Amino acid sequence: MVFTGRITHLSQKGLGVVKNEQDGVSYFVFGTWPGDEGEFAIIDRPLNNKKYGYAKLVQLTHPSNERQQAPCPYLGNHQNACSGCPWMIADYTSQLEQKRNRFLYAMQRTGFDTSILSIPPVHGSPEQYGYRNRFQVKTDGHQLGFVTEGSHHIAPIQDCLVLNTTCRSLLKTINQSLPNSAWQPSTGYESNFIGLDDDLPFDQIKPNQKRPFKQGNHTQNTWIKSWLSKQLQANPTLHNVIELFCGSGNFTEVIADSACHQIIAYEASFDAIQQLRARNLPKVDARPVDLFKPFIWKILRKAISDADTLVLDPPRAGLKNMTGFFEHFRALRTIYYISCDPESFARDAWHFTKEGWTLAEIQLVDLFPHTPHVETLAVMKK
């Protein structure tokens, strides 16, 4: 079924939303932007909701004023198109506006009155191309690339404009090594993944092996670390710090440079903890622990009971585990929450405000231009 319509806004996942007046259903459409008018075709993609569905853009009749010609030849709506940078179709100013809108919507849905929150514009990335220092490709041993929207299909990629110089060269080198029988998936699997970054030599590449986590945009990561450093310097009650989800120490080194007395840093990955310990940062006690384990705050109660400051940078799921948190973090007065997901941040922040915490500062940062991703930096006080 084909219908005409206008993209009114973007969904939380960054897809355009158009309402079909014929059936009253709103459809999510990849590769569209608010203000786009065109013809759309309903597609058979499961969604357990009668009010919404998926459609594809058949013909763009009147493009949005914010739309631009994407410089990447792999972006599109065809079967072999890459969907890694879906917002490359829009000018960068409007991308930043939509990222802020995404955060506002997440907060409003949770229950916040955003009109009383001070939320400045998103801090944009100085580089919109050539910024990314890590990436992951899929391969079946014969071809490799990223994934097409709404599928498990490999979109073959020879080059990528958002990768930095080292990663871009690495992508070209691994393409030249194909076909590679060592990268073929086991029986019953369609593909393997290969994690890559600008610290990985070609001869150490192995399929299905996760690389140590690091922020994907070096310039913006430096800016975030500077933000955290300034916040810590302005904290008059900075003594005992707990860091959750510390990884290999991206933010731990910033905390160690502050005037705090001691830092206990927790992370589930033992490899990451070993890397952090090897750095011999002053005042840091790095401990491996599963922070999503039931009753974890009761287990850690002796270590966390006198902490006045908390720094956390959780995965997309957020802090999530709140059982016993407020009971055992008895001395906590300041929280610095660095989040990669607006929805989980809004959920966690709502729990904190219900326990008497105040959102003292919010700063949004764009780590990944041309994607719906937005990073949240927040200060909570009690």
Per residue in 131-165, pLDDT (tens digit) is 999 999 999 999 999 988 777 789 999 999 999 99
Annotated active-site residue 340? The verdict is: yes
78 pLDDT exceeds 80?
A: no
HEC readout, 48-71: CCCCEEEEEEEEEEECCCCECCCC
User: With contact defined as beta carbons under 8 Å apart, do 240 and 262 qualify?
Assistant: yes
Architecture of domain 218-381: 3-Layer(aba) Sandwich (3.40)
Which amino acid is present at 364?
L
Q: What is the dihedral of CA 247, 223, 241, 307, to 10 degrees?
A: -110
The predicted pLDDT at position 227 comes to 98
Measure the CA angle with vertex 308, ends 302 and 311; round to 5°.
Answer: 95
Domain ranges of the chain: 2-67, 134-204, 218-381
253 contacts: CB under 8 Å, gap ≥ 6:
279, 281
- Tokens representing 366? 């764009």
Q: Give the CATH number of domain 2-67.
A: 2.40.50.140
- Read off the pLDDT of each residue in 165-194 and give the average, rounded to a whole number: 94
Instruction: Report the percent of the chain where pLDDT is more than 90.
Output: 90
pTM attached to this predicted model: 0.94
Structure confidence at residue 50 (pLDDT):
82
DSSP 268-311: S-HHHHHHHHHTT-TTEEEEE--TTSTTHHHHTHHHHTT--EEE
